[in-house]
Structure formats: structure tokens, C-alpha cells
Chains A and B, each alone.
Chain A
Amino acid sequence: MRDSWRAGSLIAALLLQALAACGAERESPGATSPVTVRALLSQDPPSLSLLGKPDHNSEIVATQITDSLVQYDDRLELLPRVAESYEFSDGGRTLVFRLRPGVRWHDGRPVTAADVIFSVEQARDPAVENRTFAPQFADLVSLETPDERTIRARYSRPARGALEAWRLPLLPRHLAQRGAELLTGSYARHPVGCGPFRFVRYRPGEEIVLEANDDYWDGRPHIDRLVFVIYPDQRTAFQALRARDLDIMVASPDLWHEARLSAAATRPESFVYYRLNLWQIGWNMDGSNPFFADARVRRALLLALDRGQFIERIAHGLGRPGVTSFHPDLVWTDATIEPLPYDPGQAGRLLELAGWSPAARGVRERAGRRFRFRLMIGDSSQGIVDEMAAWLQQSWARVGIEVEIEKLEWRQFRERRLAHEFEATMAGLSFTPNPDQFELYHSSARDAGFNYGGLRDPEVDRLLESGRAADDPVARRQIYFGLQQRLHELQPIACLIHFATPVLHDPRLRGVVPSPIDHWRTTRGPREWRWVEDLAGG
């Protein structure tokens, strides 16, 4: 009996040791093992076809596997990549690209103009469901290929802003399927591109593994492998990062703050940057409610918010007050316009002027109607949204306004907003570096665009139309400066806060360069990352 217990204990101990060895901390990449960087992806991309059903995650992966004719650098300048050069002519209606020689697909075949044409055709095919690039080719009339390295694109009207659309990921015509089959065929299971990394494998729900393309035209990446690890829970990912099982992740403000307070031995490196996004409140100005048609009321509601305090105390300083929907880091932004200050006194005066006077229990009234409205918010993975909603309620209560928060599941929120069945909404908004915000403010964009609140201002419409048509960049800039002044007066949406994006990474990972796009999708993305063992040597 005693012998069998001893034998059993020995076996159990050996098993535990084996299990522990399996769970041991990952060793640093040595001289013989590939240099691998493990990055967090919060969920599976909808498609690995590089063009179909894109979301932020799939675009991050796509830009590593394949290239495009042009790409943003970290200062938001569009640089030629697979295109060696480009030229506008015919008053901006024609755009000609000349392809760079020596760019090859991962199977060794050269990238040709026919591949570019094919990629555009697929992007414009509704069955591919590409929401990112398809709308940007709306004015494209024809595409021609005079030779294997030349593409001539003709537009129905001057298209100075059309260059951005050519960040389109390129697909190999000889490998990728067409239409709906692009999403369902063999290519979507094993995409082939011309980018700095080759696709190795995808395990749904677990990881996407890429390896360095030794023959990349712009130089082999410094790392051997790039692995996207799928962790749906941020705290799990954070623990992995601290134990060096994960190398880089975008963190929530709370985790970023916790990381900075952690012990030096386990503290990850961190930096923050500002992406092109904004948290904003949209007011329904179509007259279906008595509140928000008046610009004085909209202005007052923003004056009643101490955004600085919220950013400092709740967001750990990771944000800056919004001014207009033009991001502070863009060249098109008028830096002379200041954000509205926190001034509840002025807010009260404006509300009085608009006819809303304090009545019973401090809530304002006008013609017997209390100032009480419903703020609709969508379910979001960002925990700070609930805190923002509570902060808004409390801030506006101090100036005599009652707010009820209506939180909806995202798709339901979207349907209600599309149907204009709301009084006010709060949501995030992302932008590209293109200054054209026609879809956000033009009076024609109420149903077809993002002008959910129904702004109808002839001056705003005129400026938006002029901005689209302007050839001269200097003149165009002045038009957009004028637009920003007008929007600042009208406050059609309350540009609340630009939240910063905190990034945590292993101190041995170097060369991560942020940009307002993000740290993935520019010319200085993972291709330039390096793994440095000797931290003292840097």
C-alpha cells in the first residue's frame, strides 16, 4: 500500500513538473530561434481575404501581408510604395501611376497593372463588402493599362483627394477569386500578398502567424515572425504582457495607469498617441424636439462640461478636449480656434437667452416644458463610456438640465440613429486624414451620410462643396479654416474629447513609431520593429 502511494506521488510530481514546464515563461528569442513579436488582437478579423469585409483588425493584418500603391507615413504624408510615381492631369480628372519594378508577390510572380485593376474591381464589387475603399472610388469612371507598369484612372470630376483611395490592398489576379468567392474561396484561407510579411497560418480564436518576407522590395523586416494573439479580454492580455508572453498591446486607460504603477521588473514600456478619432454628441436638430435646434443651447451644453477635469481624473490624463471634428494633428486644422472653456455661468446665461429658465427643483423650463432629454449611447467595449455618461448627467444637472441615459446594444443603437429616432446620441467617430467631411455635415447627407442630426446650413454646404472642388492646396486649406470657424459657431455636434491611445510593449521591442493612423498601417509599421536583447546597448 505504502509503495503504491509512493509510486503515485512520484508520478503526480513528475506530471506537475511537466505541466509547470509547459506553463513556464517564454524565454527570450535566442540566436537559433526566430525573433518573434507577439501582438494583441482583440478579436478575429471577419476575413483574411485582405479586401473583403474589412474592419480595423483585418486592415492591420492586411497591411502586413500586402502592399498598396501609396501609403501614409507617420506624418500623414501619402508616399508612393508599389507605385514608383504618380501624376495628376486634365484638371485633376486623370491620375496616372507608374509601378515600381521588382515588386513581387510572395510566390515570386511580378506585380503588374492588371493586378491593380483586379484589386479595384474586387473592392467595388458589392459582394466583397468593402466599406472602406468602395465609396472612395465612387467617381472613378475608367481604368486603363497602356502597359504592364502603367495605370491610368479617369474620374468624373477633379479628384485631388482621390489619392487616398489608392491605399487599397493589392491582390494577385492569378490567385485571388472574384466577387463573393473572394470571401469563401481558398485565397481567404491562405492569402498571398506582396508585403513585408508572408501568411503562415490562422487558428480561429487563437492566433494569426506571419513570417518575414526575405525578398521584400524595401528590405526584409528586422523580426522573423509576427504573431497576432487573439485575447478577447484586456486584463488577460495585460497579464500576458507583464509575464512577457505578449509583446505589444493597446491598453485601456485603467490598465495603462496600472502598468505605470507596477514594479520596475515587470513594468512594460508605454507611450501614448492620438489617433484620428473623437467622442462626440450628436444633437437631433430636425425640430422633433424643442431643445437642440437653437445653437445657443448646443453651445451652452458644451460650456457646462469640465472636460479637463474628466480627462485628468477619469481618463488618467489620456485625452484632450475636442474643438471641431478636424483633428488637432492635421495640417487642415485651424490651430487658432480654442476649445470652449468650462463656464457654467455662461452656459446658464445662454440657456436663459434661449428661453430656458430655472423652475421647480432647479430644472429649467420653457413654455411649461421641462428641459429633460434622452441621451442614447451604444454598448461599447470601452468601459469609459459609462463613466462619461454619468459625468454628462451630473454636469448638466448642475445647470438645470435632466438627462436620461438610454443604453442600447450597438446594432439597435445604429438602427435608431439611422432612422433619426433620437434626441441626442453619444458615440465615437473615426476619420481619415482627408479633410473632406461632406458626409458629416452636408444637408444632403442626412440619410445617405453621417449627418444624423439633420444640420441644414447654406454656408456649411457651400464651404464643403468648395473644399471638394478646390485644386490649390493653399486655397483649399483656407476654405476648411472657414468651415471650422462656422462649425465652431454652430456646434452641430459637441466634439467632446479626443482620447489618446495608450500602447504597452516589452522594453526590448524597439522602433514602434506611432502616427495618427495607428502604429501598424504606415510605412513605418512592424517592418521596422527590432528586438533588442541588450537593453543597455539600446
Chain B
Amino acid sequence: MLTLFFVTLVVCCLIRLAPGEPLGAGPEEEIGMRVSAAARAELRALYHLDQPPHRQYGLWLSDLLRGDLGRSFHDRRPVAERIGERLGVTVALNVLSLLLALAVALPLGLLAALRPGSTFDRLAGGASYLLYAVPVFWAGLLLQIVCYGRLDWLPLAGLRSPESEYLGPAGRFLDLAAHFVLPVLCLSYGSLAYLSRFVRATLIENAAGESWRAARARGLSLASVLVRHGLRQAGVPLLTLASLLLPGLVGGSVIVETVFAIPGLGRLFVESAFQRDMPVLLGLTLLSGAATLLGILLADLAYAVVDPRVRRA
């Protein structure tokens, strides 16, 4: 908890130190659109911008202890509301992309570890590095052009079709699912590549160990050893990795959200930074920090499940 509050204090100070205030017009100023000095002073007081950073942070903290994340500087809506309306979408997208990445990466890594150096292993490795190198915005636009523009298989962007209001619950669910396909693909291919190589490397590292030699000596096939022993051994580092990925589930991806017009937390974070919207940034930092702590806790609990030695200890 101390770490969490320290992080939010640092974020608060960084925002205050950044040049520019949340008040003011956008990139194209209009002659006549100038706030008077008196009005500007009133607004600065309203937003506590006339307070030093530590005092402004203290005000935020006292509101937080009452369960209030404050109001956005940008549109004056509650921060909890702004985050809440995007949190579900972001988590859903990221969970699905993580599951897809794991579902493909595990068998791919397993099969590659089965015959290290084989043609399949080399092809899988090459494909993984290629996928990892592809920029997300390029992949997103390409998927849109092919799957929407040329083939008309999937919707372009957003979360729902214009006609979804006329559909029943099942239709709306399928409509939503269809809108998730391309963003999830874009979010998953990079981590898929990374995870498959990670699984492969972990399994190969353990293959030379005594437990595997003993299992093979008992007559188990290599495939059986990989599945029964290898996955379990790879589970510990994989869980560590997964716990590090948990904050990313609420982090969002500003590029994917922009290309696919998804109202997610990634865009909210970037927009709030440009708008100097301190309450929203602090709320998002708090969320991300809490997700990190939760990820570490879940990883510790999962170790005990996967590794009996941890339970006995």
C-alpha cells in the first residue's frame, strides 16, 4: 500500500511539473475565445491549481479515503464513472487476447521444444520473430482492409453495429463478439510470439534435468514427459510472467483502441496526460498499481498450487 501511494504521489508531482495547465483552448485558437484573468483565477481555485502539489495531493487523498476519486478536469464527470465505463471493455479485450495468446503459445512452444532445431522449430521461431516485429497499427489497418474492406467478414471498428439496437440479446452478443475479433487478434499476436518462445526455452532448459532423465528411464515417451513434467516445471516461470501481465489487462493499448475506435483505458490514459487531467491520471495509476499488487498475490497463491514444495514450505 505504501508503494501504491508513493507512486500516486510521484504521478501527481510529475503532472504538476509538466508545462501547461488543464485550462485553455485546443490546438486551434479562435480570436475572441480568451478567458479573462479574473475568470482564470476562479477556475484555478476551483481545480485547486493554485495549491502547491503536496496540498493538492492531500486533497485528493482525503477524498480517496472517503471513497471519492474526484472529478475529471476535462469534463467534470466523476473519475470513477469515466474509468468504470471503459474498464469492462479493456479487461474483456485483454483477457481474451491473453487467453488466445496462451492457447496458441503453449502448444506451439511445446511442439517446438519436442524437436529443437527441427524444420518446424525453425519455422515457428521465424514466424514468432516476424509477428513480434510487426507494428500494431500496421497490422490493425491491414486486418481492417482485408477482413472488412475486401472480404466483408468482420466489422470495421467500434463495439456494436448501427442495427444492434434492433437485435435480441443473442444477436447483440454475437455482434459484440464480432467487433472483438480484430482488436483481440491485434492485441494477442505480439504476446503470442513472446510466450511461445518463452515456453519453448523453459521446456528445453528443463529437458536436460535429472527428473526428465528419470522419467524417460521409467519408459515414458518424450511427449508424455513434456506434458506431465515439462508444463508443470514451466508453470512457475509462466505464472511469474502472467502476474507481470496482469497490470497490462487494465492498461489498455492506445494504438489498438484508436485504430478500432474502442473506448478503452489506453486512450483515456493518453488523452488525460495531454489534457493534464490529474484526477483521472491518479485514478488510473491507482488502478494499475492495485492490479500489480493483485497479480503478485495471485502468482504467490498459484505457486503453491503448481509446486508442492512451496505448499510444504
| Chain A residues proximal to chain B, CB less than 8 Å | 15-16, 18-20, 22-26, 36, 38, 43-44, 46-47, 52-53, 55-56, 126-127, 129, 131-132, 134-136, 138, 180, 183-184, 188, 203-206, 227, 229-233, 235-236, 239-240, 242-243, 245, 277, 378-381, 409-412, 414-416, 427-432, 434, 437, 439-440, 448-450
CB distance from A274 to the nearest CB of B (A): 15
Bound: A127/B45 CA distance, A: 10
CB distance from B21 to the nearest CB of A (A): 7
Which residues of chain A have C-beta atoms less than 8 A from B178's C-beta? Answer: 19-20, 22-23
Instruction: Evaluate contact between B148 and A239: CB separation under 8 angstroms.
Output: yes
Bound: A180/B43 CA distance, A: 10
Bound: A231/B36 CA distance, A: 34
Instruction: Evaluate contact between B174 and A19: CB separation under 8 angstroms.
Output: yes
B33 within 8 Å of A by Cβ? yes
CB distance from A90 to the nearest CB of B (A): 24
Chain A, Cβ-Cβ closest to B171? A22
Which residues of chain A have C-beta atoms less than 8 A from B159's C-beta? Answer: 206
Instruction: Evaluate contact between B177 and A429: CB separation under 8 angstroms.
Output: no
Bound: A52/B159 CA distance, A: 28
Which residues of chain A have C-beta atoms less than 8 A from B11's C-beta? Answer: none
B157 within 8 Å of A by Cβ? yes
Given the interface contacts A239-B144, A411-B19, A411-B274, does A23 sit within 8 Å of B260 by beta carbon? no
Given the interface contacts A240-B157, A432-B31, does A412 sit within 8 Å of B20 by beta carbon? yes
Which residues of chain B have C-beta atoms less than 8 A from A232's C-beta? Answer: 258, 261, 267
Instruction: Evaluate contact between A230 and B36: CB separation under 8 angstroms.
Output: no
Closest 7 CB pairs of A and B: A205-B263, A411-B20, A126-B39, A430-B30, A23-B155, A22-B178, A412-B19
CB distance from B15 to the nearest CB of A (A): 11
B149 within 8 Å of A by Cβ? yes
Chain B, Cβ-Cβ closest to A409? B274
Given the interface contacts A20-B153, A180-B46, does A135 sit within 8 Å of B35 by beta carbon? yes
Bound: A450/B30 CA distance, A: 9
Which residues of chain B have C-beta atoms less than 8 A from A53's C-beta? Answer: 74-76
Residue in contact with B34 in the complex, picked from A44, A277, A439, CB distance below 8 Å:
A439
Bound: A8/B264 CA distance, A: 33
Give 26 A-B contacts (CB < 8 Å), ordered by A residue.
A15-B174, A22-B178, A23-B148, A23-B156, A24-B152, A36-B162, A44-B75, A46-B74, A56-B26, A127-B43, A136-B32, A204-B82, A205-B85, A227-B162, A236-B259, A236-B261, A239-B144, A243-B152, A410-B26, A410-B27, A427-B27, A428-B28, A429-B30, A430-B30, A431-B30, A439-B32
Chain A, Cβ-Cβ closest to B82? A204
Chain A, Cβ-Cβ closest to B144? A239
Bound: A188/B77 CA distance, A: 10
Residue in contact with B76 in the complex, picked from A47, A230, A240, A437, CB distance below 8 Å:
A47
Bound: A115/B221 CA distance, A: 84
CB distance from A4 to the nearest CB of B (A): 19
Which residues of chain A have C-beta atoms less than 8 A from B152's C-beta? Answer: 20, 23-25, 243
Given the interface contacts A19-B153, A439-B34, does A233 sit within 8 Å of B19 by beta carbon? no
B140-160, CB < 8 A from A? 141, 144-145, 148-149, 152-160
Centre residue among A245, A412, A434 by max chain B CB count within 10 A: A245
B71 within 8 Å of A by Cβ? yes
Residue in contact with B26 in the complex, picked from A24, A36, A55, CB distance below 8 Å:
A55
B300 within 8 Å of A by Cβ? no
Bound: A44/B268 CA distance, A: 11
B208 within 8 Å of A by Cβ? no
B200 within 8 Å of A by Cβ? no
Chain A, Cβ-Cβ closest to B159? A206
Secondary structure at the A interface, as helix, strand, loop or mixed, is mixed
Centre residue among A184, A236, A409 by max chain B CB count within 10 A: A236
Which residues of chain B have C-beta atoms less than 8 A from A52's C-beta? Answer: 76
Instruction: Evaluate contact between B28 and A277: CB separation under 8 angstroms.
Output: yes
Which residues of chain A have C-beta atoms less than 8 A from B145's C-beta? Answer: 239
Instruction: Evaluate contact between A411 and B71: CB separation under 8 angstroms.
Output: no
Which residues of chain A have C-beta atoms less than 8 A from B32's C-beta? Answer: 132, 135-136, 432, 434, 439
Given the interface contacts A22-B174, A205-B263, A411-B19, does A236 sit within 8 Å of B28 by beta carbon? no
Chain B, Cβ-Cβ closest to A24? B152
Which residues of chain B have C-beta atoms less than 8 A from A20's C-beta? Answer: 152-154, 178
Which residues of chain B have C-beta atoms less than 8 A from A439's C-beta? Answer: 31-32, 34
Chain B, Cβ-Cβ closest to A16? B153
Instruction: Evaluate contact between B71 and A414: CB separation under 8 angstroms.
Output: no
Given the interface contacts A233-B259, A235-B141, does A427 sit within 8 Å of B153 by beta carbon? no
Chain B, Cβ-Cβ closest to A246? B156
Bound: A243/B174 CA distance, A: 21
Instruction: Evaluate contact between B158 and A448: CB separation under 8 angstroms.
Output: no
B116 within 8 Å of A by Cβ? no
Centre residue among B74, B162, B267 by max chain A CB count within 10 A: B162
Which residues of chain B have C-beta atoms less than 8 A from A55's C-beta? Answer: 25-26
Bound: A53/B157 CA distance, A: 28
Chain A, Cβ-Cβ closest to B34? A135
Bound: A236/B31 CA distance, A: 32
B56 within 8 Å of A by Cβ? no
CB distance from A428 to the nearest CB of B (A): 4
Instruction: Evaluate contact between A19 and B156: CB separation under 8 angstroms.
Output: no
Bound: A381/B270 CA distance, A: 14
Which residues of chain A have C-beta atoms less than 8 A from B25's C-beta? Answer: 55, 131
Bound: A55/B24 CA distance, A: 11
Bound: A393/B221 CA distance, A: 69
Bound: A232/B259 CA distance, A: 7
CB distance from A160 to the nearest CB of B (A): 15
Instruction: Evaluate contact between A135 and B19: CB separation under 8 angstroms.
Output: no
B42 within 8 Å of A by Cβ? yes
CB distance from B51 to the nearest CB of A (A): 18
Chain B, Cβ-Cβ closest to A184? B76
Centre residue among B31, B38, B159, B262 by max chain A CB count within 10 A: B31
Instruction: Evaluate contact between A38 and B161: CB separation under 8 angstroms.
Output: no
Residue interface mask B253-279, A partner, CB < 8 A = 1? 000001111111001000100101000
Bound: A47/B76 CA distance, A: 8
CB distance from A214 to the nearest CB of B (A): 20
Residue in contact with A127 in the complex, picked from B42, B144, B162, CB distance below 8 Å:
B42
Residue in contact with B36 in the complex, picked from A43, A46, A135, CB distance below 8 Å:
A135
